[in-house]
């Protein structure tokens, strides 16, 4: 058998730990798909459309560290690029692979199908360059190994998406086999001198403060520093809070954990302790308008030290070219044997109110949000992953208490509604051993609903809580109008459509607590496919946090233009 460019690409994907890749077929990628099918241990998983294909890969990367999506030129790739923008925003190395025009057509003046109708096909590569950390076009087999390696290596190093387009007549061309995977996993080590200076500065920052707190941000997983952050917290002894987008990136049963810091929609006590602190150690934060609650809760100034993936800033100085894990290890070494900086933890324990137990609602009463959230909380185990969609699902999940090991997946930087359906599919493909629960608003679900059919196809026992509040409630709270009302669907009924003649998905509609409980029991028992539970609640029944946060964000949006 001739070893080909497509084999090379597939083998590299398998080498970096991918057991699956996501695909939608099209004539520019069919031969490539044939080549990829021949790679041992690399399954081809199909999606209903390319937007979903991109988001499925994004979800898989969350479970598995990296992912790949294969699409056809323009009509496919331009849809997938939206999800690639999301992967960039969310720091996930998703490799987007697009079939492309025959190498003989490039520069020939030919107009081809699936293009914008001009003989220049370079626009897709140009767009991809803006949305990825590396974008390459392969029009000769000789260049393929170096270009493929460059794209994958850069994506893995930067934890950002990369783009590879392959001319449709090149993927079956002969190509040497790839060497050891180490060649694409290499990374420059921290500069030792800069590392020492950065650690000195951080150690001074901490020494000069009596009441520090630690804030964990959403790039911690991409930085590979979740365990290191726990050890740093142990060495410091102070309160640790997570940012909303970093929910589950620090164990919630850790004695120093004080919940989510999110301005005035923080967990009880978290904001008070934050405001009382005299220093904030920020690990890999993302400060945007949402995370700062419309810029009302933005830690900055002299009392803030930033510890980012490859960048440290403290005491008015900044350091680059160091790895966060090296910085954390060095800092832990300096803190060894020193008295704990536990003032914020002592104070937090004094002001923290005991969690009032949530009382079950009357099982026959109309279902309300609080009862729905209570029942979902009851499902969480240490092997659960909750995928929460943009909308009130964010705020519902934020209030949940996670057992150690439970994960929450959010897409707070990109915030594409509908992301969660394909991302849940991709996550379930990547982590079949976990209990996977999705919380999705009705409005969001309508964007990408068809990907539930792929969960049916692969018999994935995902549990979907579809919150039917008859509209875009999160937008109602930010700025209401007729555009926030949506057409109702028979969401539970969709499952029989997706099952067709061979599926085992189940759909239930819950209008009371008792109906929801029964549906959950059936969902847990269904190991042959997804279960969708449509939770019917009132249009205005949302968390109070959504209302407070929505008002702040609306105020930030409504700032008048500055005078020039
Ligand atoms: C692709 C995309 N289009 C539009 C929006 C704007 N948007 C943000 S939230 C939202 C409504 C979400 O409604 P739903 O899923 O029903 O959640 P709820 O707030 O009702 O819980 C919309 C339209 C978006 N974020 N992404
Ligand atoms: Mg809704």
CATH 3.40.50.1220 assigned to domain 192-351? The reply is yes
pLDDT tens for each residue of 386-402: 999 999 999 999 999 99
Higher pLDDT, 326 or 1: 326
Instruction: Check: CB of residue 88 under 8 Å from CB of residue 161.
Output: yes
CA dist 139 and 161 (Å) reads 21
pLDDT at 355 over 80: no
To which H or E segment does residue 334 belong?
Answer: helix 324-335
**509 backbone dihedrals φ, ψ, rounded to 5°:** -115, 125
The domain spans of the chain are 5-185, 192-351, 369-553
pLDDT at 1: 83
Q: How many CB atoms lie within 10 A of CB 126?
A: 10
- The CATH code that applies to domain 369-553 is 3.40.50.970
Residue 115 beta carbon below 6 angstroms from any ligand 1 atom: no
Q: What is the DSSP letter of 243?
A: -
Residue 475 beta carbon below 6 angstroms from any ligand 1 atom: yes
Question: Taking each helix axis from N to C terminus, what angle separates 324-335 and 192-207, rounded to the nearest 10 degrees?
Answer: 50
Q: Which residues pair with 21 in a beta bridge?
A: 44
pLDDT at 356: 79
Q: Which CATH superfamily is domain 5-185 in?
A: Thiamin diphosphate (ThDP)-binding fold, Pyr/PP domains (3.40.50.970)
Percent of the chain with pLDDT over 90: 95
Residue 397 beta carbon below 6 angstroms from any ligand 1 atom: no
65 annotated to a ligand binding site: no
Instruction: Check: CB of residue 159 under 8 Å from CB of residue 93.
Output: yes
pLDDT tens for each residue of 317-353: 999 999 999 999 999 999 999 999 999 999 999 998 7
CB contact set of 207 (below 8 Å; sequence gap of 6+): none
pLDDT at 471: 95
CA of 396 to the centre of ligand 2 (A): 13
Q: How many DSSP H helices and E strands does the chain contain?
A: 21, 19
pLDDT at 476: 87
Instruction: Check: CB of residue 85 under 8 Å from CB of residue 453.
Output: no
To which H or E segment does residue 532 belong?
Answer: strand 531-536
CA dist 158 and 160 (Å) reads 5
Q: What is the DSSP letter of 559?
A: P
pLDDT at 408: 98
Instruction: Check: CB of residue 7 under 8 Å from CB of residue 175.
Output: yes
What is the edge-to-edge ordering of all strands in the sheet holding 384-388? 407-409, 384-388, 435-441, 463-468, 531-536, 506-510
pLDDT at 563 over 90: no
pLDDT at 558 over 80: yes
pLDDT at 354 over 80: no
What is the band of 473 on the pLDDT scale with cuts at 50, 70, 90?
very high
CA atoms within 13 A on the CB side of 482: 0
Residue 326 beta carbon below 6 angstroms from any ligand 1 atom: no
pLDDT at 179: 97
Residue with the smallest CA separation from ligand 1 atom 23 is 472
To which H or E segment does residue 143 belong?
Answer: none
pLDDT at 103: 96
pLDDT at 386: 98
CA of 394 to the centre of ligand 2 (A): 12
Residue with the smallest CA separation from ligand 1 atom 9 is 391
Q: How many CB atoms lie within 10 A of CB 107?
A: 12
Higher pLDDT, 524 or 557: 524
CB contact set of 422 (below 8 Å; sequence gap of 6+): 47, 51, 52, 53, 54, 55, 56, 58, 59, 83, 448, 451
pLDDT at 379: 97
Mean of all residue pLDDT scores within the chain: 96
Low-confidence winner among 93-102, 330-339, 354-363, 466-475 (lowest mean pLDDT): 354-363
Residue 469 beta carbon below 6 angstroms from any ligand 1 atom: yes
Residue with the smallest CA separation from ligand 1 atom 10 is 472
What is the band of 564 on the pLDDT scale with cuts at 50, 70, 90?
confident
In 139-296 the beta strands, taken as DSSP E runs, fall at 162-167, 212-216, 239-242, 257-260, 279-283
Residue with the smallest CA separation from ligand 1 atom 7 is 417
pLDDT tens for each residue of 260-269: 999 999 999 9
* Closest listed residue to residue 374, CA positions, set 222, 516, 264: 516
CA dist 16 and 18 (Å) reads 6
pLDDT at 501: 97
CA of 391 to the centre of ligand 1 (A): 6
Q: Which residues pair with 264 in a beta bridge?
A: 262
Instruction: Check: CB of residue 5 under 8 Å from CB of residue 166.
Output: yes
Percent of the chain with pLDDT over 70: 100
pLDDT tens for each residue of 62-108: 999 999 999 999 999 999 999 999 999 999 999 999 999 999 999 89
What is the edge-to-edge ordering of all strands in the sheet holding 162-167? 43-46, 20-23, 67-71, 94-100, 162-167, 134-138
What is the edge-to-edge ordering of all strands in the sheet holding 212-216? 257-260, 239-242, 212-216, 279-283, 304-307, 311-314, 317-320
CA of 468 to the centre of ligand 2 (A): 6
Q: How many CB atoms lie within 10 A of CB 490?
A: 12
Q: CA 81, 83, 85, 91: dihedral to nearest 10 degrees? A: -140
Q: Which residues pair with 320 in a beta bridge?
A: 311
Residue 441 beta carbon below 6 angstroms from any ligand 1 atom: yes
Helices (H), 244-287: 270-276
Q: How many residues does the chain have?
A: 564
Instruction: Check: CB of residue 157 under 8 Å from CB of residue 323.
Output: no
Q: What is the DSSP letter of 359?
A: P
CB contact set of 46 (below 8 Å; sequence gap of 6+): 22, 23, 24, 25, 454, 457
pLDDT at 186 over 90: no
pLDDT (mean) for 125-153? 98
Instruction: Check: CB of residue 100 under 8 Å from CB of residue 78.
Output: no
Q: What is the DSSP letter of 357?
A: P
CA of 478 to the centre of ligand 2 (A): 13
Q: What is the DSSP letter of 38?
A: T
pLDDT at 477: 81
Taking the mean position of all CA atoms in its chain, how far away is CA 47? Answer: 19
To which H or E segment does residue 52 belong?
Answer: helix 50-64
Residue 443 beta carbon below 6 angstroms from any ligand 1 atom: yes
In 311-429 the beta strands, taken as DSSP E runs, fall at 311-314, 317-320, 384-388, 407-409
């Amino acid at each position: 058998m001739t070893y080909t460019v497509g084999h090379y690409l597939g083998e590299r994907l398998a080498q970096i730990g991918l057991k699956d890749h996501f695909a939608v077929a099209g004539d520019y990628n069919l031969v490539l798909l044939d080549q990829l099918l021949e790679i041992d241990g690399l399954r081809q998983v199909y999606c209903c459309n390319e937007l979903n294909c991109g988001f499925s890969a994004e979800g898989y990367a969350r479970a598995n560290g990296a992912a790949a999506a294969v699409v056809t030129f323009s009509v496919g790739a331009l849809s997938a690029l939206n999800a690639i923008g999301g992967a960039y925003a969310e720091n996930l190395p998703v490799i987007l692979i697009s079939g492309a025009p025959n190498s003989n057509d490039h520069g020939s003046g030919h107009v081809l199908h699936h293009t914008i109708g001009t003989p220049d096909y370079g626009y897709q590569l140009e767009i991809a360059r803006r949305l990825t950390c590396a974008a390459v076009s392969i029009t000769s087999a000789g260049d393929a190994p170096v270009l493929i390696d460059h794209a994958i290596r850069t994506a893995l190093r930067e934890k950002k998406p990369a783009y590879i387009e392959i001319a449709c007549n090149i993927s079956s061309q002969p190509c040497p086999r790839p060497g050891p995977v180490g060649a694409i996993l290499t990374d420059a080590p921290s500069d030792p001198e800069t590392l020492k200076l950065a650690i000195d500065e951080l150690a001074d920052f901490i020494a000069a403060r009596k009441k520090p707190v630690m804030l964990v941000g959403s790039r911690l997983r991409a930085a590979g520093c979740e365990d290191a952050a726990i050890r740093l917290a142990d060495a410091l002894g102070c309160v640790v809070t997570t940012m909303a987008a970093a929910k589950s990136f620090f164990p919630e049963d850790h004695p120093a954990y004080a919940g989510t810091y999110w301005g005035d929609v923080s967990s009880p006590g978290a904001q008070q302790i934050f405001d009382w602190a005299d220093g904030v150690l920020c690990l890999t934060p993302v400060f945007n308008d949402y995370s700062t609650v419309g810029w009302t809760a933005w830690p900055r100034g002299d009392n803030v030290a930033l510890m980012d993936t490859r960048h440290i800033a403290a005491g008015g100085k900044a350091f680059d070219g160091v790895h966060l894990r090296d910085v954390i290890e060095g800092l832990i070494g300096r803190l060894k044997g020193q008295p704990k900086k536990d003032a914020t933890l002592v104070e937090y324990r004094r002001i923290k109110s005991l969690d009032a137990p949530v009382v079950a609602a009357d099982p026959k009463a109309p279902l309300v949000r609080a009862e729905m959230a209570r029942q979902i909380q009851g499902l969480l185990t240490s092997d659960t992953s909750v995928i929460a969609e943009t909308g009130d699902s964010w705020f519902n999940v934020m209030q949940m208490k996670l057992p150690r090991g439970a994960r929450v997946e959010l897409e707070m930087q990109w915030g594409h509604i509908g992301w969660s359906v394909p991302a849940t599919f991709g996550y379930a493909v990547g982590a079949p051993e976990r209990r996977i629960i999705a919380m999705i608003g009705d409005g969001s679900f309508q964007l990408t609903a068809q990907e539930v059919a792929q969960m049916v196809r692969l018999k994935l026992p995902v549990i979907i809580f579809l919150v039917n509040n008859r509209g875009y409630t999160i937008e109602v709270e930010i700025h209401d109008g007729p555009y926030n009302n949506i057409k109702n669907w028979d969401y539970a009924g969709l499952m029989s459509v997706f099952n067709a003649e061979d599926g085992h998905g189940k759909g239930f509609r819950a209008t009371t607590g008792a109906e929801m409980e029964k549906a959950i029991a059936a969902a847990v028992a269904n190991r042959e496919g997804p279960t969708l539970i449509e939770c019917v609640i009132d249009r205005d029944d949302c968390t109070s946090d959504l209302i407070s946060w929505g008002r702040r964000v609306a105020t930030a949006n409504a700032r008048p233009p500055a005078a020039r």
